[in-house]
Structure 1
Amino acid sequence: MKRKLLAFAIGTALVTVLAACGGGTDTSQNGGAQAGDPQKIVSQKCSTCHGGNLEGSVGPNLQKIGSKYSKDEILNIIKNGKGGMPAGVISGKDAEKVAEWLAAKK
């Protein structure tokens, strides 16, 4: 009984984290409200794991990520994932704008 409960709890936590860090579509291709506003994109798609002020939570602190990674390196992480971050949370032009915005955070 304890094993089943533990497996259920771990499964639920995993689904919650993956759902919070991903989902949605690339709104830059379908005219959504997010297109062009990297701060809003990050707020809606990344804050669950990286915190509302990018201070870190489940994911790392991103407040000065531009001093560690270039725009291209950040874009690569967004596209391909890294560590516990899933690939493709943001895509297309939205990903490029977010990478540029984050790269300026030094």
Structure 2
Amino acid sequence: MKKMLVAMLGAALVLGACGGNGDNNADEPAPADNNNNAEETENAAGDATYDADNAESVYVGNCAGCHGGDLTGASGPGIAGMSKDEVLTAIQEGPGSMPADLVTGDDAEDVAAWVADQ
């Protein structure tokens, strides 16, 4: 009985950690980013740019709880060494217990590029 209770509590913690940014107004557009000083970073392949500061912030707020601050994994798998396309597909499809579309739009593109560059 104790083992089942511990397993259920562990599963609840894992799912809770991957639950997003707590914004219950998903249908409302995000406020405009007035940070004109955002630095765009060229990815490792040199073929695209992304907002590294935004990417890291989104990763810390939505992904690090499961994938770790150093991308080597925590309650979820490590993602170090994944390509941008692999990360973007995982974000969109939500493999395993990861929710699909936890991050969307430019944020998803930025995070995928950032992870691939780490």
Establish whether residue 89 from structure 1 lines up as the match of residue 106 from structure 2.
Answer: no
How far, CA to CA, are the matches of 2:89 and 2:32 in structure 1?
23
Higher helix proportion:
1
Q: Report what 2:30 is aligned to.
A: 30
Q: Aligned pairs, how many?
A: 94
Higher relative contact order structure (alpha carbons within 8 Å, sequence separation ≥ 6): 1
Q: Report what 1:76 is aligned to.
A: 89
For structure 1, list consecutive stretches of 5 or more residues without a partner in the other structure: none
**Correspondent of 2:57 among 40, 44, 53:** 40
For structure 2, list consecutive stretches of 5 or more residues without a partner in the other structure: 34-50
How far, CA to CA, are the matches of 1:78 and 1:86 in structure 2?
8
Deviations 1:23-53 (A, max 9, x none): 2247xx41288xx510111111111111112
**Structure 1 residue ranges (4+ consecutive) displaced by more than 6 angstroms after TM superposition:** none
TM-score normalised over the length of structure 1: 0.70
How far, CA to CA, are the matches of 1:32 and 1:85 in structure 2?
28
The letter for the 1-side match of 2:105 is: G
How far, CA to CA, are the matches of 1:93 and 1:22 in structure 2?
19
TM-score normalised over the length of structure 2: 0.64
Q: Which stretch shifts more, 92-101 or 80-89? A: 80-89
Which secondary structure state, in structure 1, belongs to the residue aligned with residue 100 of structure 2?
Answer: coil
Name the % identity.
35
